[in-house]
Amino acid sequence: MNEDDINQLFESHNVELTERELIELTENNYEAQEKGEDDEVVPALKELTKKTLNKCFTMAHDLTELLIREDPTMERSLKTRREVFAALVPYKEVEKNLRNEAKQSKTTSYFSKN
């Protein structure tokens, strides 16, 4: 994944779907349900790790720093930075929960084994 991929990803999220595209997506989903395609083998659930989240946060930081350095319009790059980090807030919460889970010790660890 390079900077162009990241930029393209951000740009794709800013484009709103047309009414026709929404209708097509809904129809395709409905047709898939009728055909029983949802009964196919479900892949294993993915799990976010602290390592993955930290990598994402680092990439977001690097991206916004690059924009601030290279974009001649400071206001635009700062706005983008705010929006990128605002979009990452739910992932910050997940990372915080993972961190807290790692810190919690089991209640049984306070009892001595005789």
Indicate yes or no: pTM above 0.85: no
Domain-wise residue ranges, the chain: 46-103
Query: How far apart are the C-alpha atoms of 95 and 91, rounded to whole Å?
Result: 6
Average pLDDT of the residues in 70-80: 95
Stronger pLDDT, 7 or 64, i.e. the higher one: 64
Average pLDDT of the residues in 87-107: 85
pLDDT tens-digit readout, 43-68: 777 888 999 999 999 999 999 999 99
**What is the model's pLDDT at position 112?**
64
Containing 61, the helix (H) or strand (E) segment is helix 50-70
pLDDT tens-digit readout, 12-38: 666 676 777 777 877 877 777 777 655
Burial 18-27 (b: 16+ CB within 10 A, else e): eeeeeeeeee
